[in-house]
Amino acid sequence: MSVGFGTSTESLFKLKCQPAVGVIGQTTHISCSIELYTKPKPVVINTVTLTRSGEKKSCFAIQPFENIQIGDSRFDVENGPSLQLHNTTFSDEGEYWYIIRTNLGQDDVQFTINVTAKYSNPIITSVQKEIVNDGAADLYCSASGGYPAGTIHWFDQSNTNWTKSATLQSTQGNDGLFSLSSKLSFQKIDLLWAHFRCVVINNKYEEEGGTTSTLEIEGNYCLVYL
């Protein structure tokens, strides 16, 4: 099936699509609509074609009345011009050209798909079982299974941000998902700063999850319970 691009001068409608945000492993809904230039008329969609920007070959096309469908079977037409993408993966992220042919002409539009995956709730650990007040201390916070790459922030009980004193490692696995690991080091820790909280921040600078370490004092020592 071959469909050329370019808006037809004879088209009696305008095709519009909203940017879509999908979650890895779930169904992404791409909301599109038809705006008629004339009095309302029944619109019959004859051909739908979807092509990734920069590529010549269509990734999905369908002629519903001919029962012909080619390309990625995860795509489907939903409620007229709107689309669905099942089992979304991080590789689906990008820009697309969408064209439809109808009984009222044809039109095309460009839209984007952004893909996300939520990180697991972070976990705080420490190699040291006992932390001495005014002594050295290392705290670790880790989270996994997220996309795109995020970051980890550290806060003490007064909500002071200690992130500048931490080092972050971000690793992308073979499945495209990221794992985050942050190390917060102190040469001299003050027990007045406890309890410490680590928070996962996504690429939109939104908090996705957080956890708090419990510090309890026994004599001159503070025990870290994780």
Among 66, 81, 116, where does a domain finish?
Answer: 116
Tell the residue number behind the tokens 């038809």, with chain if given. 34
Looking at the structure, tell me whether residues 105 and 128 fall in a common domain.
Answer: no
Looking at the structure, tell me whether residues 22 and 48 fall in a common domain.
Answer: yes
Answer for the pair 196, 182: CB distance below 8 angstroms, yes or no: no
Give the least confident one: 62-71, 123-132, 134-143: 123-132
In a domain, residue 77? The reply is yes
At 226 the pLDDT is 35
More confident residue, 99 or 189: 99
Rounded to an integer, the average pLDDT of 113-127 is: 92
DSSP string, 35-83: EESSS-----EEEEEEEETT-SS-SEEEETTTTEEEE-TTEEE-STT-E
Rounded to an integer, the average pLDDT of 169-184 is: 95
In a domain, residue 4? The reply is no
Looking at the structure, tell me whether residues 129 and 160 fall in a common domain.
Answer: yes
- pTM attached to this predicted model: 0.77
At 222 the pLDDT is 45
Looking at residue 183, the DSSP 8-state letter turns out to be E
Residue 53 belongs to domain spanning: 13-116
